[in-house]
Amino acid sequence: MSDGPKRIAILLSGRGSNFAAIHEAIVSGELDAEIAVVISNRTDAAGLARAAQWGYRTAAIPLRGQPSREAHEALVIEAIEGSGAGVVALAGYMRLLSPGFVERFRGRILNIHPSLLPSFPGVDAQAQALAWGVKVAGCTVHLVDESLDGGPILVQRTVPVLDDDTPETLSARILDEEHRAYVEALRIVTSGKYWVQGRRVRVEG
């Protein structure tokens, strides 16, 4: 197996439904890529257990026990590079990345956020959208830069906001679209047939 853009490192902290969607897309042949490693900062992440069950290489790297944030991140970088992954997919990874990390993998780190960015960055995006009263919500997969949820956008998908929505019902509707959006974005990035022009990501063809 060679290093490169078709090998994906997944970073997650929780249930891992986006990871599962990526796994299924690869298994079904919908996405021509492979998962090189699944890394979590939480030893008890359900997504990590699932990854191990499915036979993936996994790494649990908790912050606790590390002398510093930098030392923790160095271990994460080592796990990614040791797997030969060329793309890093953040899938519910609840830690901020340092500028050094972003620089190391620049243009090759993807994140998914449950809002139509640049609206509602940060935590509780779905509740923010409801509180604002928007009629259309959705999700965004973007390249990661040093800003919070602010890098160039790869894919967005929309859902309607219904009058009787709660943060839970809206989150569930958005999550279905997240799974499609992440696979679509990874198809673009793993194909290598895209380029970034300022804030705009252009896809060949």
- Residues lying near ligand GRF in the complex (CB under 6 A): 12, 14-18, 47, 91-92, 112-114, 175, 178
CB of 197 to ligand GRF, least distance (A): 26
DSSP assignments along 80-131, one per residue: HHHHTEEEEEESS--SPPPHHHHHHTTT-EEEEESS-TTSS-SS-HHHHHHH
**Is 142 an annotated catalytic residue?**
no
Closest residue to ligand GRF using C-beta atoms: 92
Instruction: Report the DSSP pairing between strands 109-113 and 153-160.
Output: unpaired
* CB of 19 closer than 8 Å to CB of 51: yes
Q: Tell me whether residue 74 or residue 94 sits nearer to ligand GRF (CB atom).
A: 94
Q: Considering the candidates 72, 113, 142, 179, report the single residue annotated as catalytic.
A: 113
Q: Tell me whether residue 86 or residue 114 sits nearer to ligand GRF (CB atom).
A: 114
- Please name the amino acid found at residue 151: G
CB of 204 to ligand GRF, least distance (A): 27
Q: Tell me whether residue 47 or residue 86 sits nearer to ligand GRF (CB atom).
A: 47
CA torsion through residues 101, 103, 104, 107, sign: positive
Q: 3-state SS of the chain: helix, strand, coil percent to 5?
A: 35, 25, 40
CB of 147 to ligand GRF, least distance (A): 15
Helix (H, G, I), strand (E, B) or coil at 137: strand
CB of 43 to ligand GRF, least distance (A): 15
Q: Is the peptide bond before 118 cis (omega within 30 degrees of 0)?
A: yes
Q: Tell me whether residue 83 or residue 115 sits nearer to ligand GRF (CB atom).
A: 115
Catalytic residues: 113
